[in-house]
Amino acid sequence: MHHDEYDYMFKIVFAGDSEVGKTGAFLVYDITNRRSFENLKLWLKELSQYADDQVAILLVGNKSDLRHLRAVPTDEAKVFADKNNLPFIETSALDSTNVEIAFHKIMTNIFKKQINLIKKNTDDKNSRPVTLEGDEEQFALKKFTCCY
């Protein structure tokens, strides 16, 4: 396998607590590289095969600082995200644009999926549901902090 091919294959970054990919995955493509975007279908297929169906996935278009070299229009990525029910954000690892927001989004989605899973699995007659009041995203950010 050539170095170029490897670069296009390794763009799924997992975030989890006890098992790799248990709770969240960043699906990252390079906005300046059309081929990396075209590989998203394959990566989603692999995620659906190997990851738990409760994994929160965030589609990330990286290298937004290189807009002048853009090969993937933002609108096209949004259409792909909508078609696959994925939240979407563009980031720049170089200048940190939207990086923190991306982590907040994935953590919020992980939190929501875990709450829904708990609600779904709660069948004990003596248990009472927990109702969170206020902004779920703010609660998630306070509950789940991340170091960069």
Tell whether 135 is covered by a domain.
yes
CATH of the domain at 93: 3.40.50.300
Tell whether 39 is covered by a domain.
yes
- The pTM score is 0.71
Q: What percent of the chain has pLDDT over 70?
A: 68
* Structural domain for 68, as ranges: 3-143
Tell whether 148 is covered by a domain.
no
pLDDT band with cut points at 50, 70 and 90 for residue 128: low
Total tally of structural domains belonging to the chain = 1
Tell whether 110 is covered by a domain.
yes
Tell whether 59 is covered by a domain.
yes
CB atoms within 10 A of CB 103: 21
Residue pLDDT, tens place only, 3-29? 454 444 444 454 445 554 468 889 999
